[in-house]
Structure 1
């Protein structure tokens, strides 16, 4: 036996080698844990608690969905129906409240980020995915708006699911992926018509990689299109019968803006700058910090651990890069082109569903790599910088709220004291009506938020228009009575005024007790 063999077979001294080896194994096991769900869970709890504590009123989009959820329809006057259907199902379990919308909005966003992280991990490895996830969590669409629930939030989930499915279609072609893509595409279109941008991304991948040459892939595309069309057909038929539907709303609010040549270029440039240098700026700062750490702490020649990611063939790696770059670059470029060429008034929130996919494009530009990111000091620095950025974002959110010292000059909706208005109006209005408040008529957002504070959970008659309020039947306002809300400076002279100049009046019902409805 050689001396080396003897050293290998000699038992370690008690309390020395064995514990060291055990600690080493423990560290290796800790490093192999996928922290995605823990990070997302902690992130979600902290941000939801913070956002709910500094907002005097829920987001206007949440209120809109909670107003519409009172009736299941094939569509609503501003948007397709799926987000409202999903909230209706959630409300049956969690109850009709602002928190139901907060939780569902957060679940949609966090599930999207989980799919995004899983895709990065499968393509490049767990350290790459961890850095990509931390960077995406710095995008202000996903932290400061985590409690939002609207059509953009729902679309985010279907965009992420589509990317995940296209990766499988490109690398493991099976008809079941195409079937799932058809369902997801229908869900996307029933959430927001902007999903058409995602469909164009998919068609670009189909042509870019020559999938039309493969009979299986051709059949799959036909299957996906057929499934999507079948699922969207009822909504499409409903849409054709509407004079005031989502298409008309889109044309009036943005698509039909017809901006002039200078305005087009200016607005589109501003929109792109807001995307990258405002919404994504904290993510870009984090990635630059990690890039610096990679160069300094994992420079060429340093001893790096082998890649933890799967070893793909050249074609598979190319297709993976195509999916990420396609999702990260084509949507903003396509929408900017709509602004420049079509005169569309681009809305800043249109980047919600796609912004996270900008991160892999930035990581590719900075040449971040799994082997370097696996170096512990690089990850630690990235983690510390992430915590600092999140603390800064929370502080900025608090400081610009109704409780902070630097409130914005123009009042923000979350600073609207809706509970005070509801309490000031509710008691006298019940006495005037002779019973509970069943219907509120007035500006949609204010009426909806007042309804949330009242135990009767009254329904909202949007702008007094039954055509866009299908949850209220003709004749009900006259029979049950109505509470009218008047913005400051409007309404009849005999309207009762409360704090902030808001006024109220009632239309007394002629029928049975509203509580029996």
Structure 2
């Protein structure tokens, strides 16, 4: 499965996605934090870069591996809270959500966070819902929570949902819960403390970026419009999974819905009839998982799955609507991990333990077709496939040809030494630099804070090139790029075909060469 999704971009993409390029360059240097995000994904990429070099394929492989790892943890969790057949069904459904495999070729902090948050919800369920919860479950909860926070600060949304569940369920009154939470918090803080210390001492970087990302703005009408747009986007990215669920519900045997409701009632009764004040948690685990003829899921588990499956989405959409914060689709990447388990637990028609062999074959066959067609089709449509239609995408940028032109321009002006540095935006300039000599450094946006690997004074001493992409909608927008371009000694421009169709959109680049300090700097016409 990992290779199925990771290999097509290697063959069809001419340039990696923005986030993949960014991580490859951040990975040059291990830090306790980076100017936009916590460090864990960059640490992972740093290890891989040192093993294989700054190659785009390692970003695809690492991203899909994180998604597959999250599915594995979901399967481990589903085996404990669902009947075996429904556990398999839940993982198949989860694999059909675009966030969990299809979009994991984009290696970013949201993708990596899938893995620790899947473990977080699994350990949280163990700690909250199992009567035999052990110390190691609370420790595991703390470890996964700390790793999630080391990945992206948005983990606090999932922590807030857990707090709401605790208050709604009334479990906050139990002493064992408080003891466990204290242990988990201590472990989580220990895991994340080096970065948290860094964040407090560099508050103008990651924390400032996070605060700027959630600033409220916009008229009430725009807030409602954004809510509708985001809901529509999420439905689209969950559509294959939702189609399977809808078909299973529509094609369920007559009377199966009533039987499922009866089973659910049996599970609910078993969860509330113990008289212990803690619901079905007082029942032995084996009893709780087999109430209602071996198919029902207990009330406490269904309630937990509902909070985990819908809570992050509802909480964030409510916050966006109230504050007017502009949302981005990738913010929702980790919000649907538990949703397939909830669907398998409560939706009529998904009682997989009652399915015939023919229905299982149909589901698995459809899932296999989706994954094969999806992996090839997505990479083809984003990469070389668009050339036939005159469209341009990030994946179709001819970055190798751009790199050749950049190197030729430098050699024409400074033939006695290799190009030391390229100044430009993260994606366009970075994608080109990946095709140049590994010694060439990227000065992201010409800002010191974005590229701590650039030695002070290197730009003035060694020189380099500035490249600015003017092709919309992918134009370079670094605030200092124009100023850096003005510092160069020689300026010009070039164009290259972006799409294979004649007369289609071109790569339009403005460039500037800054000569090394020991060479005379005399502006000249370089057109």
TM-score normalised according to structure 1 size: 0.81
Are 2:339 and 1:386 aligned? no
- Quote how far apart the aligned CAs of 1:391 are: 4.9
Are 2:129 and 1:135 aligned? no
Are 2:453 and 1:494 aligned? no
The 1:51–1:296 alpha-carbon spacing in structure 2 relative to 1, beyond 3 Å, is farther
Paired residues of 2:6 and 2:57 also in contact (CA < 8 A)? no
Q: 1:423 aligns with which of 404, 407, 410?
A: 404
- Quote how far apart the aligned CAs of 1:395 are: 6.1
Report the equivalent of 2:281.
Answer: none
Mean alpha-carbon deviation: is it higher for 107-116 or for 403-412? 403-412
Distance in structure 2 (CA, Å) of the matches to 1:121 and 1:294: 23
Paired residues of 2:382 and 2:394 also in contact (CA < 8 A)? no
SS at match of 1:133: helix
Gap regions ≥5 residues in structure 1: 1-42, 302-308, 513-517
Report the equivalent of 2:187.
Answer: 227
TM-score normalised according to structure 2 size: 0.80
Distance in structure 2 (CA, Å) of the matches to 1:266 and 1:223: 43
Paired residues of 1:139 and 1:356 also in contact (CA < 8 A)? no
- Quote how far apart the aligned CAs of 1:280 are: 0.3
Aligned ranges 1:294-333 → 2 under 5 Å: 294-295=252-253, 311-312=287-288, 317-333=298-314
Write out per-residue CA displacement over residues 98-121 of structure 1, whole angstroms, 9 at most, x where no aligned residue.
122112111111100111122112
SS at match of 1:356: coil
Report the equivalent of 1:185.
Answer: 145
The 1:273–1:498 alpha-carbon spacing in structure 2 relative to 1, beyond 3 Å, is closer
Distance in structure 2 (CA, Å) of the matches to 1:508 and 1:207: 64
Aligned ranges 1:254-273 → 2 under 5 Å: 254-273=213-232
The 1:297–1:133 alpha-carbon spacing in structure 2 relative to 1, beyond 3 Å, is farther
Aligned ranges 1:98-247 → 2 under 5 Å: 98-170=56-128, 171=130, 172-242=132-202, 244-247=204-207
SS at match of 1:440: strand
Distance in structure 2 (CA, Å) of the matches to 1:221 and 1:151: 26
Paired residues of 2:10 and 2:56 also in contact (CA < 8 A)? no
Q: 1:285 aligns with which of 228, 233, 243?
A: 243
Report the equivalent of 2:516.
Answer: 509
Paired residues of 2:18 and 2:426 also in contact (CA < 8 A)? no
Distance in structure 2 (CA, Å) of the matches to 1:385 and 1:296: 23
- Quote how far apart the aligned CAs of 1:180 are: 2.2
Distance in structure 1 (CA, Å) of the matches to 2:370 and 2:162: 34
Paired residues of 1:438 and 1:456 also in contact (CA < 8 A)? no
SS at match of 1:497: strand
The 1:458–1:330 alpha-carbon spacing in structure 2 relative to 1, beyond 3 Å, is same
Write out per-residue CA displacement over residues 105-139 of structure 1, whole angstroms, 9 at most, x where no aligned residue.
11111100111122112222332122222222222
Paired residues of 2:4 and 2:372 also in contact (CA < 8 A)? no
Paired residues of 2:386 and 2:392 also in contact (CA < 8 A)? no
Mean alpha-carbon deviation: is it higher for 472-481 or for 482-491? 482-491
Gap regions ≥5 residues in structure 2: 260-284, 472-481, 497-506, 520-527
Distance in structure 2 (CA, Å) of the matches to 1:234 and 1:381: 50
Are 2:412 and 1:454 aligned? no
SS at match of 1:502: strand
Distance in structure 1 (CA, Å) of the matches to 2:225 and 2:24: 36
- CA RMSD in angstroms comes to 2.9
Paired residues of 2:64 and 2:101 also in contact (CA < 8 A)? no
- Quote how far apart the aligned CAs of 1:392 are: 4.8
